[in-house]
Amino acid sequence: MSEGVALVEERPAGWEALDQGDAAWAAGDRAGARAAWTLASTSGAPATEAAAHARLLLVSGTGGLLRHGPRADAALGRCPARSAWCQLAAADRELFPALIGVPGTSAARAAAAANRALAAAPGPATARLVWAGAAPLDALDLLDGGGLEAALRAGGGRWPAGPGTWAAGLAPIGASGLGAGVGLALRHPDLGLRGARLDAQLSWTTRGQGGLGLSAASPPREGLGVIGAINVQRVVFDTYLGEQRVDTTHFWTGSLSTAPRWQRGLATAWLGPQLRWDGQVPGHGATGGLALALPGPWRAALSAEGGPSWQAGVGAAAVGQAELRREPGAAGLAMRAAAGGAPVAATPLWRLQPLGGGGLLRQGPTGRWRSRAHGALVIEGRAPLGAAGENSALSLCPFVEGAWIRPDGAEAALHGGLGLGLRLALPPRPTNTLRFDAAWGDAGLGLSAGWGQAF
Q: Residue 351: what pLDDT?
A: 84
Residue 190 has pLDDT above 90, yes or no: yes
Assigned CATH for 167-451: 2.40.160.50
One-letter amino acid for residue 197 of the chain: R
Residue 44 has pLDDT above 90, yes or no: yes
Domain parsing of the chain, residue ranges: 15-154, 167-451
pLDDT tens digits, one per residue of 424-437? 988 998 878 999 99
Mean pLDDT of the chain: 90
Q: Residue 24: what pLDDT?
A: 96
Strand 281-282 and strand 353-355: pairing? Answer: unpaired
Task: Report how far residue 210's alpha carbon sits from residue 232's, in angstroms, rounded to the nearest whole number.
Answer: 9
pLDDT tens digits, one per residue of 295-343? 889 999 999 998 875 454 455 678 999 999 999 988 899 999 999 999 8
Task: Report how far residue 283's alpha carbon sits from residue 19's, in angstroms, rounded to the nearest whole number.
Answer: 55
Average pLDDT for residues 275-281, to the nearest whole number? 79
8 Å CB contact between 110 and 132: yes
Q: Residue 29: what pLDDT?
A: 95
Could you give the percent of the chain with pLDDT greater than 70?
95
Q: Residue 432: what pLDDT?
A: 86
pLDDT tens digits, one per residue of 196-255? 999 999 999 999 999 999 999 998 888 899 999 999 999 998 988 877 888 898 989 999
Q: Residue 242: what pLDDT?
A: 77
Q: DSSP for 65-120?
A: HHHHHHHHHHHHHTS-TT-HHHHHHHHHHHHHHHTTT-TT--HHHHHHHHHHTTTT
Q: Residue 198: what pLDDT?
A: 96
Output 281 or 312, whichever has higher pLDDT. Answer: 281
